[in-house]
Amino acid sequence: MQKSFIIIIVIAFGLVGGLYSLPKVVVSDEKRKLEQSSNEVPAATANRDKPTASKTEESESHGATLSVEQQRVIAQLKGSYLNGSTAKVKMKAADELIAKFVEYTRFDSAAYYAEEVANKIEPSETNWMKAGNLYYEAFTYSLQAEKTTVLGEKAREIFTKVLAKNPENLLAKTNMAMTYVSTSTPMQGITMLREVIAKEPDYEPALFSLGILSIRSNQFGKAVERFKQILKNNPSNSKAALNLGYCLAELDRKEEAKEILEKVLNNSTDSQEKAAANEILSKLK
């Protein structure tokens, strides 16, 4: 199996209660190139209406325009938010608007309004964390270098505010660490992840992130150790199992890989995970 065959492109951490979901999809290099091409096509987005728009807003474009119906829904929700008479009304409208942007995979737009809520309505740790995670989500989905840089910087800015409120927020520190990977100082991120592990050795998001970084540097043996540690404590983590199977395949430990990937097929309820497992298995025959 070629080392470049499968690329992990999404590490998405959840927004509520410290829960998270790990890579949602694995794709071939060819698909990645196609997605990069599609992302080069400018598209109308729903959060570019203010003359004081930030660099993050201005720089982000999407691969497909919103449908007429989606634009109508967004416009209605934006009106409710902007014209809200009380903080409570504006908060409710903002939550609905953010949820729709997430549904339409406009994570940068969702992040922008989540940041507005934290800045102007309720600057709680929870709200800042929500904004940071959404910027992080946009960062992980971005396939264009310039956008990735801007979104990574924005995510770090927000997570810094979260950590100022609560230095013990390990998810904020973990996500922030991963934004350093594509910078000129990737070791800063790795150091932060090691600090998280030193504080909580079985913290799954940090273990998973270290596993992904090991994959990126072709250190599949180290990645195997990370994913096995996750599965030891949480055998139902099918994302970890999928990545473990991939790493074992790369190490030419085919029978072990097949056993793990078959478990993913039998136990996972995620169609993308099953498709990825089948794709890896097809290369082992």
Q: Residue 63: its pLDDT value, please?
A: 53
Q: Residue 4: its pLDDT value, please?
A: 33
Cα–Cα dist 14/134, whole Å: 9
Cα–Cα dist 16/93, whole Å: 18
Cα–Cα dist 241/155, whole Å: 28
Q: Residue 14: its pLDDT value, please?
A: 32
Beta carbons of 162 and 115 less than 8 angstroms apart: no
Q: Which residue matches tokens 């507005």?
A: 116
Q: Residue 64: its pLDDT value, please?
A: 67
Beta carbons of 240 and 234 less than 8 angstroms apart: yes
Q: Residue 61: its pLDDT value, please?
A: 43
Token pair for residue 96? Answer: 């609905």
The pLDDT tens digits along the chain (285 residues) read 443 333 333 333 332 223 333 333 333 343 343 344 333 333 333 333 333 334 444 334 455 689 999 999 999 999 999 999 999 999 999 999 999 999 999 999 999 999 999 999 999 999 999 999 999 999 998 888 899 999 999 999 999 999 999 999 999 999 999 999 888 999 999 999 999 999 999 999 999 999 999 999 999 999 999 999 999 999 999 999 999 999 999 999 999 999 999 999 999 999 999 999 999 999 997
Cα–Cα dist 169/108, whole Å: 23
Q: Do 1-39+200-285 and 44-179 fold alike per CATH?
A: yes
pTM of the model: 0.78
120 Cβ contact partners less than 8 Å away, ≥ 6 residues apart? none
Cα–Cα dist 214/8, whole Å: 12
Strand partners, 26: 8
As its CATH architecture, domain 1-39+200-285 has Alpha Horseshoe (1.25)
Q: Where are the domains of the chain?
A: 1-39+200-285, 44-179
Cα–Cα dist 21/12, whole Å: 6
Look up residue 276 and give its amino acid.
A
Q: Which residue matches tokens 């989606």?
A: 70
CATH topology of domain 44-179: 1.25.40
